[in-house]
Amino acid sequence: MPRIALATYDPGTEPNKDQDLPVLLRALTDAGAEAVARPWDDQETEWGAHDLVVIRSTWDYSWRADEFVSWAERVGKATRIANPAEVVRWNTDKRYLGDLAAAGVPVVPTRYLAPGDPAGPALPADRDFVVKPTFGAGARFAARYTPGEHETAVRHLARMHEEGLTAMVQPYVSGIDVSGERALQFFGGRLLHASRKRAVLTPGTAYDADKVAHPELARWVPTSGELAVAERALAAVPEAPELLYARVDLVDGEDGRPRVMELELVEPNLFLFLHPGSVAAVAEAILTEARR
């Protein structure tokens, strides 16, 4: 009987926001596994007692990234963890987009501003742009600005730099207002399903305001072009590690062709609630990995 732990977050007194977690636990149990869900920062959990630890919904890690990466590395030494700890370290810092671009993967153009870097020259003067941290999730600390809002954007950058955060500055990709953002989900090395959502960042929304992470989420059938870009992104992950799961988020560039917005290899929402037919395939891939 494979022993599998699904790593999540501690919701406290609130319900866990991962709608897929109980469904996946039930599917694994029904398939013959001993499956549990535990917060990643639970001090009582003996991670090494499991055959496989699957990072699922550790959605509070982004402001504790160093602590989280250290946890993944400790677990990886005690047992098998998916995705591997070296992937977690690389993917928690969104400067990985620079690595993908260097490998020839079409990505959203990005500039990085570390604390102490001058902000003004990096902000576009002729188009809307986005400012967000290299460590972040759910559009936290992210905002969209117009060229006339440079002073507000500079204050936003200063606030992030006070926290020791490196900022990303990207042109606002207007194609997202037309064709949305597509998420191609891979599991066990195969395309699992795809989804589409509308723009998260709207003009005038403050960087520290709560945002709907997946507005108007719907099923999507990826085009051959989208699939090709997603596969190029996965092939460009350093040292070609074996990935149990991956999500590639795409938007259309000015030329109408898909570009990578994000490559989610740590704790992507699987959206199984939208694709219930994928539950069995996910459970099978996890069991196969646990039995290796």
Q: What is the pLDDT of residues 6-51, one digit of tens each?
A: 999 999 999 999 999 999 999 999 999 999 999 999 999 999 999 9
Question: CB-based burial of residue 43 (10 Å sphere; 0-12 exposed, 13-18 middle, 19+ buried)?
Answer: exposed
Percent of the chain scoring above 90 in pLDDT:
80
C-beta separation of 152 from 160 below 8 A: no
Helix (H) or strand (E) segment spanning residue 233: helix 224-235
Nearest CA to 65 out of 95, 20, 110, 31 is that of 95
Give the full edge-to-edge strand order of the sheet including 111-113.
Answer: 111-113, 167-171, 129-133, 143-145
Q: How far apart are CA 284 and CA 28, in angstroms?
A: 8
Helix (H) or strand (E) segment spanning residue 96: helix 96-102
Q: How far apart are CA 37 and CA 251, in angstroms?
A: 33
Q: How far apart are CA 68 and CA 41, in angstroms?
A: 8
> What is the pLDDT at residue 139?
63
Percent of the chain scoring above 70 in pLDDT:
98
Radius of gyration over alpha carbons of the chain, in Å?
19
Sign of CA dihedral 67, 160, 199, 230: negative
Stated pTM of the model: 0.94
Q: How far apart are CA 89 and CA 161, in angstroms?
A: 21
Residues with Cβ < 8 Å from 80, sequence gap 6 or more?
51, 52, 53, 289, 290, 292
| Band of pLDDT at residue 284, cut at 50, 70 and 90 | very high
